[in-house]
């Protein structure tokens, strides 16, 4: 496994590979002494795009309504070019 580059600020790769058939398979968060670790695992073909950065409030995707969680520093993660197993027929791959 290749060692990934350490990123401490915002990161963006808006577009992944075209014609992806990626499905989010697992999403984990780890808390360490000096950092947080976020791991997103996919199944399928292609490379995802992403936009990641810190924000001071969290909102619901789509409607933009504030989420009922403590506000402050929130890591905002947007994944592009992948879907979640909520789509009928996709759950069998999860």
pLDDT in tens, 36-50: 888 999 988 888 888
Closest CA to 45 of 63, 19, 66: 19
φ, ψ for residue 67, nearest 5 deg: -85, 145
pTM: 0.67
Torsion of CA 22, 17, 50, 86, to 10 degrees: -20
Grade residue 34 by pLDDT with cuts at 50, 70 and 90. Answer: confident
- Write down the pLDDT at residue 19: 60
pLDDT digits (tens, 9 = 90+) for 59-75: 887 888 988 887 778 88
- In this structure, what are the phi and psi dihedrals at residue 49, rounded to the nearest 5 degrees? -105, 165
Cα R_g (the chain), whole angstroms: 15
């Amino acid at each position: 496994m290749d060692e990934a580059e350490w990123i401490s600020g915002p990161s963006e790769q808006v577009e992944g590979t075209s014609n992806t058939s990626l499905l989010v398979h697992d999403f984990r968060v780890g808390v360490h002494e000096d950092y947080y670790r976020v791991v997103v695992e996919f199944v399928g073909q292609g490379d995802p795009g992403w936009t990641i950065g810190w924000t001071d409030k969290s909102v619901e995707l789509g409607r933009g309504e504030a989420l009922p969680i403590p506000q402050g520093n929130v890591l905002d993660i947007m994944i592009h070019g992948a879907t979640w197993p909520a789509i009928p027929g996709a759950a069998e791959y999860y």
